[in-house]
Amino acid sequence: MTTTTTYRTLFQDYLCAGLQLVLAQVQAAEPLVPDELRRQAWHLLSYAFESAAAWPLARDLLLALAPKMEQAGFRDEWIAYLEQAVQSALLRGDERVAAECQLEIGYLYRLATNFASAREWLRASLENFERQEHRQGMARALNHLAYVAWREHHYDEAEDFADRALQLLDLDDVERAMSLSAKGLIAIDRREWRLAEENHRAALQIRQEYGDKRKAAWSLQNLGYAMRGQGKHAAAIACFVEALKSLERVGDPINQAIIELNLGISYYLNKEYGHALDCYARAEAHYGKSQDQLNIAKLHVNRGLCHLALNELEKAEIAFNNSITLFQQLGDLGERLNAMDGLGLTYLAMELRKQAAAVFESALKELPLIQGTPIHDTLLEELSLHLNQAQPVREDLTLAVQNLGT
């Protein structure tokens, strides 16, 4: 009995010493945690979750690791550790850490485009923060819920979440930038470009004042969206290029990929198709690790547009079919119909009129299901025009390709 007790005490001592050492190294690691250190941290946590004595150090290590694991692109593996942490925190009555971990899990599921799971965890976090009357935590959960609702095209709900977050936050709280960013992205989807620009400039200013270079780069990217929507392609490209340089310096490969995608779209709109394809190739190299199926799908549809503009029709067909499959899996009907429009135009360019007409007709039949969304009227006009072009008389495709939404 004495030997067993001594062994357990010794093990706990070694475990706590290891946690303390690794915690200091993780806190000092910039911008990302080296892979060997990350493996050591995960190994120690797998034991520490079962130890009451080690919990305070395990908790601190977990919270130090969380933003760096997200930045490095870890999703499913890291979520498994966070789920264990939630159980350990609840078991020990550590409601604050449980809420933080629930929030982080919801955030990671959002980034991985698993929106149902994201909502579940974010609502659990919100309820936990509400029980603690932790206003800033409640606001953060609401902001992430706003982003989920925006991604699912539930714009009124998204705006309500963001407004509720703003009401909870002090005027000097940097989290207000997240609320303003959500409202700016909603405005972009509604084609309210000036309002979007106003919100994203305000978010950018807050993040620059706080010295948050990573999130300031995100705001620059969002500002680029707003500039592009106003037809200011040179200004949009400048925003994306500056944001890309910032993220390269802070080490944010996943968001670099998103900016590369959007920089490519701006190059496409500026008829610089080679530059656009180069951007898409660089973006694609990052996306596999992030599991961001939504942006992978968007990449394929925009790559298809470039190949179509370059008359590389077989490549365009493959790209549009890939995007259609992914949007179908994601349940994003509006984006899938837009990709079908691109596929139909590709068949038109191949002079496969019957196949083109069948694609346009199929898309038009499903179009009423997204009535009331910002993309509906644009797709109705374009699909109707393109179906007419699929009739026996050959039409010039140049205008159709230019009008195709990205």
What residue spans define the domains of the chain? 303-406
pLDDT in tens, 108-135: 999 998 999 999 999 999 999 999 999 9
Q: Give the predicted TM-score (pTM) of the model.
A: 0.85
pLDDT in tens, 223-253: 999 999 999 999 999 999 999 999 999 989 8
- Rounded CA separation 61/67 (Å): 11
Helix (H) or strand (E) holding 303, with range, is helix 293-309
**pLDDT value at 395 more than 90:** no
- Asked if residue 261 lies in contact with residue 279, where contact means CB atoms within 8 angstroms, the answer is yes
- DSSP H helices, 152-272, are 155-168, 176-189, 193-209, 213-229, 233-250, 253-269
Per the structure block, which two tokens stand in for 208? 């620059």
pLDDT at 400: 54
pLDDT at 288: 63
Looking at CATH, the fold of the domain delimited by 303-406 is given as 1.25.40
pLDDT in tens, 22-66: 999 999 998 899 999 999 999 999 999 999 999 999 999 999 999
- 1 band by pLDDT with thresholds 50, 70 and 90: very low
**pLDDT value at 174 more than 80:** yes
| Four-residue CA torsion sign, 362, 367, 370, 375 | positive
Q: Which residues contact 314 (CB under 8 A, 6 or more apart)?
A: none
pLDDT at 166: 98
Q: What's the rounded mean pLDDT across residues 260-277?
A: 94
Lowest average pLDDT, out of 22-26, 251-255, 289-293, 301-305, goes to 289-293
